[in-house]
């Protein structure tokens, strides 16, 4: 009976415009939060049925049906539809963020990263960009890529609105190691620079690039010019160094056939103050 009364209320609200439709969604969310999930989801289902197909109201109801879904599969289906079928909707960027969070909690970091990269690429001005960069930072930390993670977390801190205290606190929590990580990267660069001063004046030709799977990552920069400057110094010392093609600009050395071979080179570059990383070579 309660669901039926909610359905009748929905019909009245749907006839009075999109603002009323928003009220229906708000009531549905309150029902779910209050523990009456079945009634809340029924209200959202009714809003979706009443909205014209392809309309902003339809996209809004579809988004909330995904957010309030009872299981992950249902959520994924509806949120993907919003992201793909309604790319101009304000909810499209939020749907991609929710999808990334869903895949992150499931442990599928590859899928999560794909959604976050799409959010950054397709919705560069969306308010959810700050949260997207925060989640990218967390993902990269779990993948043992602290330099890249810190770039993402710095971006998140720059993009977040001043009033979003909860997100600011989360960013600050995960960014705590970043000062040390970036100091390590600077130490690597300084060490390479010092070695280059001791090297012969003439440049050594870099050996032919190998096509192996593994590389050694020495640093990551927000500025491509800084990355290129380090590569130039490394090449003077005879190393097969390069800058990756996308920001953050990562400085990498070699393409090794085995991880063990790359690890040996990483040890040679590592010091007490900085640590080189073994990573999968880009372009594979």
pLDDT tens-digit readout, 10-58: 333 333 334 445 688 888 888 888 888 888 888 888 889 999 999 999 9
Query: Do residues 35 and 46 share a domain?
Result: yes
pLDDT, greater one: 24 or 69: 69
Specify the DSSP class assigned to residue 161: -
As a whole number, the mean pLDDT across the chain is: 82
Q: How far apart are the C-alpha atoms of 154 and 130, rounded to whole Å? A: 10
Query: Residue 38 sits in a domain of what CATH number?
Result: 1.25.40.10
Domain boundary pick from 136, 157, 178: 178
Domain containing 45: what range?
A: 2-178
Query: Do residues 158 and 44 share a domain?
Result: yes
**Contact yes or no for 229/221 (Cβ under 8 A):** no
- Contacts of 56-62 with C-beta under 8 Å, sequence gap 24+, read 56/18, 56/89, 57/18, 57/21, 59/85, 59/86, 59/89, 59/91, 59/92, 60/21, 60/22, 60/25, 60/89, 60/91, 61/21, 61/25, 62/86
Query: Do residues 134 and 63 share a domain?
Result: yes
Query: Do residues 57 and 112 share a domain?
Result: yes
Name beta bridge partners: 253.
216, 241
User: Which residue from 160, 146, 95, 131 is spatially nearest to 250, judged by alpha carbons?
Assistant: 146
Most confident of 189-203, 243-257, 261-275: 243-257
* Number of domains observed in the structure of the chain: 2
pLDDT, greater one: 222 or 103: 103
User: Which residue from 22, 40, 38, 108 is spatially nearest to 72, judged by alpha carbons?
Assistant: 108
Query: Residue 250 sits in a domain of what CATH number?
Result: 3.30.70.1070
> Lowest-pLDDT range, 2-11, 52-61, 227-236, 272-281?
2-11
In which element (H, E) is residue 278 found? strand 277-280
Query: Do residues 55 and 171 share a domain?
Result: yes
Query: Do residues 167 and 99 share a domain?
Result: yes
Query: Do residues 171 and 188 share a domain?
Result: no
pLDDT tens-digit readout, 126-173: 999 999 999 999 999 888 888 889 999 999 999 999 999 999 999 999
Query: Do residues 152 and 20 share a domain?
Result: yes
**Contact yes or no for 158/134 (Cβ under 8 A):** no
Domain boundary pick from 155, 178, 201: 178
Domain boundary pick from 178, 200, 227: 178
Q: For residue 10, what pLDDT is reported?
A: 36
Q: Is the pTM of this model over 0.75?
A: no
Query: Do residues 132 and 91 share a domain?
Result: yes
Query: Do residues 161 and 61 share a domain?
Result: yes
Query: Do residues 191 and 156 share a domain?
Result: no
pLDDT tens-digit readout, 179-217: 887 666 666 666 666 655 555 545 555 454 456 888 988
Query: Do residues 201 and 261 share a domain?
Result: yes
């Amino acid at each position: 009976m309660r669901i039926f009364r909610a359905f009748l209320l929905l019909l009245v609200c749907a006839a009075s415009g999109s603002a009323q439709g928003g009220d229906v969604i708000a009531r549905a969310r309150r029902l779910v939060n209050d523990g009456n999930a079945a009634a809340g989801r029924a209200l959202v289902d009714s809003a979706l049925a009443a909205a014209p197909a392809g309309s902003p109201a339809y996209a809004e109801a579809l988004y909330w049906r995904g957010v309030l879904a009872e299981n992950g599969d249902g959520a994924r289906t509806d949120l993907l539809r919003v992201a793909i079928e309604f790319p101009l909707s304000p909810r499209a960027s939020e749907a991609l963020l929710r999808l990334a969070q869903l895949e992150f909690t499931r442990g599928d970091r590859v899928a999560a990263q794909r959604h976050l990269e799409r959010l950054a690429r397709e919705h560069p001005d969306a308010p959810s960009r700050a949260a997207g960069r925060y989640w990218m930072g967390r993902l990269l930390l779990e993948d043992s890529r602290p330099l890249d993670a810190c770039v993402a977390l710095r971006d998140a801190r720059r993009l977040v609105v001043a009033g979003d205290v909860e997100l600011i606190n989360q960013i600050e929590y995960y960014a705590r190691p970043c000062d040390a990580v970036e100091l390590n990267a600077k130490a690597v660069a300084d060490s390479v620079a010092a070695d280059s001063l001791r090297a012969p004046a003439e440049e050594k030709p870099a050996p032919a690039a190998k096509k192996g799977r593994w590389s050694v990552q020495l640093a990551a920069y927000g500025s491509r010019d800084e990355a290129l400057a380090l590569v130039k110094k490394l090449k003077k010392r005879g190393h097969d160094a390069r800058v990756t093609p996308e920001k953050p600009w990562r400085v990498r050395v070699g393409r090794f056939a085995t991880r063990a071979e790359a690890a040996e080179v990483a040890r040679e570059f590592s010091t007490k103050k900085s640590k080189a990383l073994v990573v999968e070579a880009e372009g594979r």
